[in-house]
Structure 1
Amino acid sequence: MKRILLTLAFSISITGIAQSNSPLTANFNKLPQESIYAHTNNDFLLTGETLYYKIYCFDTNKNFSDYSKVAYIELINSDNVSVLKQKVNLKDGNGNGDFFINTDVKTGTYKLAAYTQWMQNKQAFFEKNIFIVNPFSDKLKSTVEGKSNSSVSSTIPSVNNTSINLFNGLQSSYGTRQKITLDFINNLNFDGKISISVKQKSNLNLPSGTNGKEVSTSNLVNKSNIYLPELRGSIIQGTVTSKTEGTKIPNVLLSLSLKGNHDYLPQTALTNDAGEFYFNMLDVDVDKISIQILDKERENYDIQLKEKGIVKTNFDDFPEMTVDQKTIDVIKNRSIYSQIENAFYTVKKDSILKTSKKDPLFNQIKKTYVLDDYKRFKTVRETFIEVIEGAGFVKRNDSYKISITDSDASETLNYLPSLLIIDGHIVYDHNDLIGYNSRKIKSISVVSDKYYYGNAIYQGIIIVDTFKKDFIANTKGTKDFTIQPVQPEKLYFFQQHETNNQRIPDYRTQLYWNPNLNLTQKQLSFYTSDVTGEFEIDAQGFTKDGKFVSVKKTFTVN
C-alpha cells in the first residue's frame, strides 16, 4: 500500500509540473530518483559481432524501480556523437536488448550510456567503455613488442555486494560441440534477477572498464526543460506553434496514430498553456507516427517534437586502444569466425516474441468488411449501399456526410456527426472518401454505437483501411515523424548439436546469453562450438533489495 501511495504522489507531482509554468522548487529533489546498471556480454567487439545488454533500473532505495517503463541506451564515439541508440521496455525495473555492430562503426573506444528520461533532469546515467575494432577499414596503433598497456581498473556498482553460488557440475575442460549442463544449487534462496553470458576469454591487454559506473553531471534541474518520467510507456511530447508568428498555441486538440497499426483508435491530447502536448504510448513497436491537428485553424499551425538527447556535456576520457601481436592474432581469428557465422545467419536467426496485448474493446464492437470478400463496386457510395450495413452517405447543403444508424438511439442522437478514420487518421471532409477509388480500399469497419472521442460524442465510427496506406497524404494539418521504437523481445538462438544443423559450421565465440535466467528451473544447458580455448561464464544480477551479485567461472574447450 505504501508503494502504491508513493507512486500516486509521484504521478500527481509530475502532472503538476507538466501543466504549470511555475518554476520548480527544491521539492523536486524529494521526488523518487532512479539509477541504472548495465550488464554486457563483452566490452571488446569486432564489427559483425553483437553486443548484448541487460538493464537493471533502481529507485532511490536501490529496489527495482516501478516508475520508468522505458530506458534508453546509446553507443557514443570519441567525437561525442551517438552512433547507435535503442529504447527498451522496462518491466519491474528490468529490460534487455542487443546491438549488431555493423561495418559503418569505426575502430575506437566508445561509451555505452544507459538512462531513463527521468534521469536526464540531472544528467545522470550509467556509462562504461566499449572497445570496437573494424578489421576491414581501420588500423590500430601497435605497442612495442614485449610491452603491454596498463589496464584500467573496473568500477563496482554503488550497491552492496553479496556472494552467491549458482550452480554445480562445471568441469575444467570440454570437447568441441559438447553439451554443458549445469545444475542449479538445491534450495537456492535468491530473490532477484540475474543475466548470464558465456563467451571466449581473450585475455587482451586493453583498457577494460569492465563494470562501468554511475555518473551524474549536474545536481541542478533545468526548470525550463523538464523531462517527465515515463510512468505508462513512451512519452511523445512536443509543441504546437503558429506558422506566421512562431508563438506557442494552447488548447489545441491533436491526435496521434501509429503508421501501419490500426488496431487502436488514434490517441488524443490537448496542448497546455505553454503550447506543449504529451502522448503516453505503451509498447510502441513502430518507428513512424502521424500527429494530426484537430483544431479548425490547423492550416495555420505547425507541430514540433521534443528531441530526446542524453549527454549535454562531452565525454573526455576515451582510453586509447593499442594492440600487441597477441591482440592482432585474436582479431584475425574472431574476424574469420564472425564472417562464417554471419554467412549462415538465415539458419541461426533469433526469434521475435510477440507481445501479448489485450484485444481492445474497440476491436470487439466493430464489424469489419473485407471488400475482396464481396462483389467489387465502382464507387465508394455504391459499396456502402450494397455491402455496408447500417451506414451510408447523406447529402447536406451540397456536401456529403457519413451517417450511421442506431435503432436504439433517439432521433436526436442520430443527428450527431459520425467519425471517419482513414488509414488511422481522422478525416473531417467526408467528400474526400466518396470521391476515392473504391478498388484501393482494403476494408471498411463500422462501430454503430455512440462513441466518446476526445472532447466530442459521435454517432458511430467508420474505419477505412487502404491497401497502400497513402490516403492521408492529401489531408491538411497532419505531420509524419520518425521516432525510436522499443526493441522487440527476443528468444536468442544458440546452436544445438544433438537434433539439428549438425552440418552447419559453428564458430561461435559467444556460446550463450540469457538476460533473464530462470532460477526455478533445475538446470542450465548450452553447447560448445568448433572454437577452442578458454571460456568464461559471467553471471551478474541484483537481489530484490539491491545487492549486486557476480559469479565468474572459466573452462577450456579442446
Structure 2
Amino acid sequence: MLQLSMTFVSSVVWSQEKIDYNKLQSEEVNLQTNGAVFLSGETVYISAFSFLGSSSRPSPLSKILYVTLVDDAGEEVNFQKIAMNKGRGNGDLFLGTSLKTGHYKLIAYTRWMLNFGKQHFFEKDLILINPYRTREADKPYSDYPEYLENISFQEMTSPYLSVALDKSILKPRQPLNIELKTQGKDALSGSYALSVRKIDSLDFVKMQSSVELKWNFNQNLNTDSLLAPELRGALVSGKLNFPVNNEGKENRTVVLSFVDVDRTPEFALTDDEGRFTWVLEELPTSRQTMGVAIGVENVCDFEIFEDPRPEYSDLTFKRIGIDRDLKNLIERRSVANQIENAYYQFKPDTIIETPKIRPFYIDAGKTFILGNFTRFNTLKETFTEIIQGGAVRIRNGEPVFKVETSNFIQGNEEYPTLLLVDGILVTNHKFLYNYPSKNIERITVVPEEYYLGPQRFSGILDIHSFDADFKRQYLLQASEALSINPVALQKKYFNQQYGGTDTESLSKIPDYRYQLLWKPLVSLQNDEASFNCYTSDVTGIFEVVVSGFTGSGQPVFVKSFFEVTN
C-alpha cells in the first residue's frame, strides 16, 4: 500500500481554469513489461495504458504518466515521466550495476489519480539479480514454492486475438515470422505490446498480465488539495520567494527558458503568494532550464517545485534469495548482457523526433540571414544597416533592443520588446550588445504586439547564433539553472535483420540478444498483421507475448513459444 505526501499548488493554471474538475472521472493505468525477473545490464521495456472512468475506454485526460522503481527499503531508485497520447505511451528502464539484488516495485500513476487515493496506483513486482555486487548469504528460492509453480511454458490464447508462428524450431540468426489475427472490430480497434524474449529458470516470478487487471474506478475526488490534471501538457509549478514584508507578489510574469533545446519560452502569472504554474504543451525533453521574473527586483529565490510524489513506507516486499545451482545460468546471461552492451553502437535504438510546435509568430516576421549581407563588426551597425524594423537604443546609459511597432514610432514605448536568442529570454541586453555580430546566423523581426500569457510585448526579436554559441556564453553569467523532470524520449527499438547486403559484415559482430523484439505500441490497421525478427546466437526456449486491450478495454494476453537450437 502507498501513503501519499504531496505539495499543494493553489495557483490556477489560467489555460485550464474553466474546467469543472468535479465532472472529470478517475483514471486507471496498467503497465505491460517484457518480463518480471532481470539481471543488471538488462532493460525493462514498458508499454503503458491508461483508462478513463468505468467505460474502460482509453483516457484522453492525462498527457503524462509518472513511473517509478522502488527498492525494498522504500527508496525511489528511478523516476521517469512517460508521454501519453490517447491513453497510450511507452518507455524503458535500464538496470545499472548500482542496484542491489532484491525485490522491487514498479509504480505508475498520473497527477490526476493522486486526487482519488492510493488504491488507484498501478503496482508491479520486479526481481533484480545483480551478480556484480556482494550480498548476504544466498537463500535458495526453493523456500518460495509459489515462485517455482510460476515457471510455466504453457501457451495462452484469447478470444480477441491469435498468434501464429511460421516455425517452432529455428537455428541461430534465422528469421521468425509472427502473424497476428484479430477477431472482430473491438479487437481491431485495440492497442497492444509485442515481446519476443528468451525465458529460463530465472523467470521464477510470474509476469503480471493484462487479464489480471482489476478496475478500481471511483468518484471520491479530494477537492481539499486538488491537483489539476495534465490535460494539455506537462505542468511545472514554482514560487517566487520575496524578502519579508515585500509586496507585489501577485500578477508577476515568470518565464521558463530551456537550456539544451531551441524552443519558445513558457510564460505564467503569479498568484498573491508568488506561486505560478507553466503549462508545457510541447513536452520537455531537457532537464536544465532557466527562470526569469520580468521586472521584478529583490527576489530572494526562484523555486521550482518537485513533481507531486507519494511515499512508499507502506509497501510490502519479499526477501529474495538465489539458489547456487543457478550460478552458471546467471553467469552466461550476465556475459551475454556485457557483450550486447559493448556492441550497442552497432545495435542502437533510434530516437523518435517529437513534433515541435512552430513559434506562433514565425509567419508574421521577416528573417534576415546575415550571411547574405556585408558583415559588420557590431550588432549596433548590423541593426542600423541591415535589420529593417529593428533598432538599438541607448536608455539611461544602457543599450536596449527594440522593434519598431506603431507605438514605437509614435513615441509610446510602454511595453518591452520580447528578445529571444537561441530560444531563451534575454533580459541583459548589454550582453547581446557586446556579442560579436560575426557569430549571429539570422535575425527575425516581428513588428506586431502580442500578449504572451499575462505579459504584453511590443514586437519580437528572434535571434539565432551559430551552434547556439550565444546561449552557452550567456548562461555562464546568468542565474543558476533550474532543474525539472523531463519526459522520456520516444524510441524506435532496434530490430536485428540478417540476409541483406551487410550480412557478411554482421557475421563478425557477436549476437547475444535475449530480447529479440519489442514493439510497445502495436495498433492494427487490418484483421491480420505480420511482424518479423531474427534469432540470435542464444539457444533455448523463447516466448512470444502479445498483451494489451481491445478498443472497449477488454484485456488480451496471448503467449506462444519456439525453440532455438544449434
Query: In the superposition, relative to structure 1, how do residues 233 and 171 fare at CA in structure 2: closer, same or farther (>3 Å)?
Result: same
Pick aligned residue for 1:90 from 68, 84, 92: 84
Instruction: Report the counterpart of residue 345 of structure 2 in structure 1.
Output: 346
What is the CA-CA distance between 1:343 and the residue it aligns to?
1.6
Moved more, 48-57 or 320-329: 320-329
Give the root-mean-square deviation of aligned CA atoms: 3.4
- Given that residues 243 and 302 in structure 1 are in contact (C-alpha distance below 8 angstroms), is that contact kept between their aligned partners in structure 2? no
Rounded Cα–Cα distance in structure 2 between residues aligned with 1:461 and 1:248:
27
Query: In the superposition, relative to structure 1, how do residues 240 and 398 fare at CA in structure 2: closer, same or farther (>3 Å)?
Result: closer
Instruction: Report the counterpart of residue 197 of structure 1 in structure 2.
Output: 195
Amino acid at match of 2:432: L
User: What runs of 5+ residues in structure 2 fail to find an aligned partner?
Assistant: 1-8, 14-19, 151-156
- Given that residues 160 and 183 in structure 2 are in contact (C-alpha distance below 8 angstroms), is that contact kept between their aligned partners in structure 1? no
Rounded Cα–Cα distance in structure 2 between residues aligned with 1:262 and 1:517:
31
Question: Does 1:306 find its partner at 2:294?
Answer: no
Answer 1 or 2: higher relative contact order, Cα 8 Å, separation at least 6.
2
Amino acid at match of 2:71: N
Instruction: Report the counterpart of residue 8 of structure 1 in structure 2.
Output: none
Question: Does 1:99 find its partner at 2:106?
Answer: no
What is the CA-CA distance between 1:304 and the residue it aligns to?
1.8
What is the CA-CA distance between 1:254 and the residue it aligns to?
0.9
Rounded Cα–Cα distance in structure 2 between residues aligned with 1:359 and 1:230:
21
Rounded Cα–Cα distance in structure 1 between residues aligned with 2:267 and 2:392:
26
Q: Aligned with 1:185: secondary structure?
A: strand
Instruction: Report the counterpart of residue 210 of structure 1 in structure 2.
Output: 208
Moved more, 534-543 or 186-195: 186-195
TM-score (ref. length: structure 2): 0.83
Query: In the superposition, relative to structure 1, how do residues 227 and 251 fare at CA in structure 2: closer, same or farther (>3 Å)?
Result: same
Moved more, 335-344 or 435-444: 435-444
Rounded Cα–Cα distance in structure 1 between residues aligned with 2:397 and 2:126:
67
Structure 1 residues 431-510: aligned runs within 5 Å: 431-439=430-438, 441-466=440-465, 467-470=469-472, 472-473=474-475, 480-499=481-500, 500=502, 501-510=506-515
Q: Write the deviation string for residues 405-436 of structure 1: whole angstroms up to 9, x where unpaired.
A: 35899736688643323444444564443344
Question: Does 1:44 find its partner at 2:45?
Answer: no
Structure 1 residues 22-101: aligned runs within 5 Å: 31-61=24-54, 62-101=56-95
- Given that residues 126 and 213 in structure 1 are in contact (C-alpha distance below 8 angstroms), is that contact kept between their aligned partners in structure 2? no
Query: In the superposition, relative to structure 1, how do residues 171 and 454 fare at CA in structure 2: closer, same or farther (>3 Å)?
Result: closer
Instruction: Report the counterpart of residue 168 of structure 2 in structure 1.
Output: 172
Rounded Cα–Cα distance in structure 2 between residues aligned with 1:186 and 1:430:
62
Rounded Cα–Cα distance in structure 1 between residues aligned with 2:84 and 2:52:
13
- Given that residues 528 and 557 in structure 1 are in contact (C-alpha distance below 8 angstroms), is that contact kept between their aligned partners in structure 2? yes
Q: Identity rate of aligned residues, in percent? A: 30
Question: Does 1:516 find its partner at 2:516?
Answer: no
What is the CA-CA distance between 1:214 and the residue it aligns to?
6.9
What is the CA-CA distance between 1:394 and the residue it aligns to?
2.8
What is the CA-CA distance between 1:439 and the residue it aligns to?
4.9
Instruction: Report the counterpart of residue 536 of structure 1 in structure 2.
Output: 543
Query: In the superposition, relative to structure 1, how do residues 213 and 472 fare at CA in structure 2: closer, same or farther (>3 Å)?
Result: farther
Structure 1 residues 142-291: aligned runs within 5 Å: 142-143=138-139, 147=142, 149-151=144-146, 163-185=159-181, 189=185, 190=187, 191-204=189-202, 206-208=204-206, 210-211=208-209, 225-244=225-244, 249-264=249-264, 266-282=265-281, 283-291=283-291
Moved more, 326-335 or 360-369: 360-369
Query: In the superposition, relative to structure 1, how do residues 343 and 431 fare at CA in structure 2: closer, same or farther (>3 Å)?
Result: closer
Query: In the superposition, relative to structure 1, how do residues 419 and 333 fare at CA in structure 2: closer, same or farther (>3 Å)?
Result: same
Q: Write the deviation string for residues 199-230 of structure 1: whole angstroms up to 9, x where unpaired.
A: 111133744463486799x9987666432210
Rounded Cα–Cα distance in structure 2 between residues aligned with 1:219 and 1:408:
53
Structure 1 residues 292-441: aligned runs within 5 Å: 292-294=292-294, 296-371=295-370, 374-405=373-404, 411=410, 417-428=416-427, 430-439=429-438, 441=440
Q: Aligned with 1:336: secondary structure?
A: helix
- Given that residues 176 and 533 in structure 2 are in contact (C-alpha distance below 8 angstroms), is that contact kept between their aligned partners in structure 1? yes
- Given that residues 367 and 443 in structure 2 are in contact (C-alpha distance below 8 angstroms), is that contact kept between their aligned partners in structure 1? yes
Instruction: Report the counterpart of residue 6 of structure 1 in structure 2.
Output: none
Query: In the superposition, relative to structure 1, how do residues 483 and 459 fare at CA in structure 2: closer, same or farther (>3 Å)?
Result: closer
Amino acid at match of 1:360: P
Rounded Cα–Cα distance in structure 2 between residues aligned with 1:99 and 1:144:
27
Query: In the superposition, relative to structure 1, how do residues 426 and 534 fare at CA in structure 2: closer, same or farther (>3 Å)?
Result: closer
Rounded Cα–Cα distance in structure 2 between residues aligned with 1:350 and 1:523:
21
User: What runs of 5+ residues in structure 1 fail to find an aligned partner?
Assistant: 1-15, 21-26, 155-160
TM-score (ref. length: structure 1): 0.84
Rounded Cα–Cα distance in structure 1 between residues aligned with 2:214 and 2:266:
36
- Given that residues 407 and 413 in structure 2 are in contact (C-alpha distance below 8 angstroms), is that contact kept between their aligned partners in structure 1? no
What is the CA-CA distance between 1:82 and the residue it aligns to?
1.4
Q: Write the deviation string for residues 354-402 of structure 1: whole angstroms up to 9, x where unpaired.
A: 1233533323333344546655433321222233233222344544433
Moved more, 548-557 or 361-370: 361-370
Amino acid at match of 1:334: R
Rounded Cα–Cα distance in structure 2 between residues aligned with 1:252 and 1:407:
26
- Given that residues 512 and 536 in structure 2 are in contact (C-alpha distance below 8 angstroms), is that contact kept between their aligned partners in structure 1? yes
Instruction: Report the counterpart of residue 110 of structure 2 in structure 1.
Output: 116
Q: Aligned with 1:383: secondary structure?
A: helix
Rounded Cα–Cα distance in structure 1 between residues aligned with 2:381 and 2:178:
68
Q: Aligned with 2:317: secondary structure?
A: coil
Query: In the superposition, relative to structure 1, how do residues 275 and 557 fare at CA in structure 2: closer, same or farther (>3 Å)?
Result: same
- Given that residues 125 and 214 in structure 1 are in contact (C-alpha distance below 8 angstroms), is that contact kept between their aligned partners in structure 2? no
Rounded Cα–Cα distance in structure 2 between residues aligned with 1:402 and 1:202:
67
Q: Write the deviation string for residues 508-553 of structure 1: whole angstroms up to 9, x where unpaired.
A: 1111110122433631211111111111111110112211111011
Q: Write the deviation string for residues 20-78 of structure 1: whole angstroms up to 9, x where unpaired.
A: 9xxxxxx9776310111100001111111111010100111221101001101111111
Amino acid at match of 1:460: G
- Given that residues 163 and 560 in structure 2 are in contact (C-alpha distance below 8 angstroms), is that contact kept between their aligned partners in structure 1? no
Rounded Cα–Cα distance in structure 2 between residues aligned with 1:182 and 1:399:
69
Q: Aligned with 1:536: secondary structure?
A: strand
